Amino acid sequence: MENIIELKNLSKDFKILNKKSGKFSVVKDLFSTDYTVERAVNQINLNIGKGEIVGFIGPNGAGKSTTIKMLTGVLVPTEGTVLVNGFIPYKHRVKYVKEIGVVMGQRSQLWWDLSVEDSFKVMKEMYELSDAEYAENMRIFEEELCISELFDKSVRHLSLGQKMLCEIVAVLLYNPKVIFLDEPTIGLDISVKTKIRKIIKRMNSQQGVTVILTTHDISDIEALCDRVVIIDHGTIIFDDSMNKMKQLVGSERKIIEITTKKVISDELTEKIKGMFTKEHLQINPASNKRMDIICDSGEVDINELLLQIMEYVGIEDINTVGVKIEDIVRQVYEGNLL
Ligand SMILES: Nc1ncnc2c1ncn2[C@@H]1O[C@H](COP(=O)(O)OP(=O)(O)OP(=O)(O)O)[C@@H](O)[C@H]1O
Ligand SMILES: [Mg+2]
């Protein structure tokens, strides 16, 4: 497979001003040379092939957004090289902009005062799409997302989910070679998430767009990615297939967040722990009335577990969530795979 992205020893340092206190501190800060250097991305080597969908995950502050900003030409690397489809992003920004699409949760491509359809038409002109190309992509968006329902609405009045759908459509519209999606499904309900996943999958298989996706939602990764890259403290700690990651995490793994009526005693925690073997069950106290239970649902009798808890401390609320990134990262460090 031909590479479309090549990162060699890529690093990024941020200089952080050590703030002064006291009289005239603001003025002193203006002229200060007292900085601490923080390395956000550390010597990353990564090749991504044309047409891959890669999940780029890691805990908060790991360096994901910083890496994406270097890939998209927003930030200049401190060291190392970035090449995307033959372009050096921060140098070739004018030509490069047509090669890529970027959707970042916090930044908008759309024009607030225009209607959705007019916004798309502006994109068509900016990216010099032919009428035929525009019509073909709109046909796909209509088929998958019923996008024309939103055409007359002004962008300002869209719901969060509708807006995110439109952002992604606006980017896929001009057939970029690579799209970077930084937390595209954050705060969205499952029906919008599903639509977003569908359209990304289809444009990948039909138009061959390469996708780099960062998310805290592992189910996004499971639905879309064949390959997963995990970054922590600026360093890549895992780069392998989705299957390998599932093996690491346990495909049956569940996290149950339980809020109890009474305070959870040490005695209860020990009792529950004693019921199952350590590798199948992990209990993390979150507060004196909340605990997170991470378990292998294949190996642990969840009903029995909940009955015990109910009997001792009562259950106020239960929430089952997918596996958390932090849990996966811990497993990597525990050497289950490396
Ligand atoms: N402009 C900046 N100036 C100084 N430090 C920064 C800047 N941008 C990021 N950092 C620091 O670099 C590190 C990596 O941040 P980055 O935003 O890349 O993390 P992330 O993996 O995207 O995290 P999150 O999951 O929270 O979005 C953090 O320690 C952050 O505080
Ligand atoms: Mg980020």
Which ligand 1 atom minimizes the distance to the CA of 15?
Answer: 4
Q: CA-CA distance, 101 to 179, in Å (whole number)? A: 4
Please name the residue whose Cα sits nearest to atom 27 of ligand 1. 60
Q: Is the pLDDT of residue 155 over 80?
A: yes
Averaged over 201-206, what is the pLDDT?
94
pLDDT at 319: 82
Averaged over 319-333, what is the pLDDT?
80
106 touches ligand 1 (CB under 6 Å): no
pLDDT at 141: 95
Q: Is the pLDDT of residue 140 over 80?
A: yes
State pLDDT tens for residues 228-272. Answer: 999 999 999 999 998 888 777 766 677 888 888 888 888 888 887
Poorest-confidence range of 51-55, 221-225, 305-309?
305-309
- SS3 state of residue 273: helix
pLDDT band per the 50, 70, 90 thresholds, residue 338:
very low
Q: CA-CA distance, 10 to 207, in Å (whole number)? A: 29
Long-range contacts of 219-224 (CB under 8 A, 24+ apart): 219/193, 219/322, 220/55, 220/184, 220/185, 220/193, 221/55, 221/57, 221/245, 222/246, 223/197, 224/53, 224/55, 224/197, 224/200
Which ligand 1 atom minimizes the distance to the CA of 16?
Answer: 4
pLDDT: which is higher, 100 or 25: 100
Averaged over 51-63, what is the pLDDT?
95
66 touches ligand 1 (CB under 6 Å): yes
Task: Report the percentage of the chain scoring pLDDT > 90.
Answer: 52
State pLDDT tens for residues 66-95. Answer: 999 999 999 999 999 999 999 999 999 888
Q: What are phi and psi of 272, to 5 degrees?
A: -65, -45
Cβ atoms of residues 223 and 242 within 8 Å: no
pLDDT at 108: 76
| DSSP H or E run through 10 | strand 3-17
Please name the residue whose Cα sits nearest to atom 2 of ligand 1. 14
Task: Report the percentage of the chain scoring pLDDT > 70.
Answer: 96
Ordered domains of the chain (ranges, CATH)? 3-247 (3.40.50.300), 251-333 (3.30.70.100)
77 touches ligand 1 (CB under 6 Å): no
**Region class of 226: left (phi > 0), else alpha (psi between -120 and 50), else beta:** alpha
89 touches ligand 1 (CB under 6 Å): no
Q: CA-CA distance, 111 to 326, in Å (whole number)? A: 36
195 touches ligand 1 (CB under 6 Å): no
140 touches ligand 1 (CB under 6 Å): no
pLDDT at 251: 61
pLDDT at 336: 56
- Planar angle of CA 99, 102, 106, nearest 5 degrees: 160
- Cα 308 to averaged position of ligand 2 atoms, centre (Å): 40
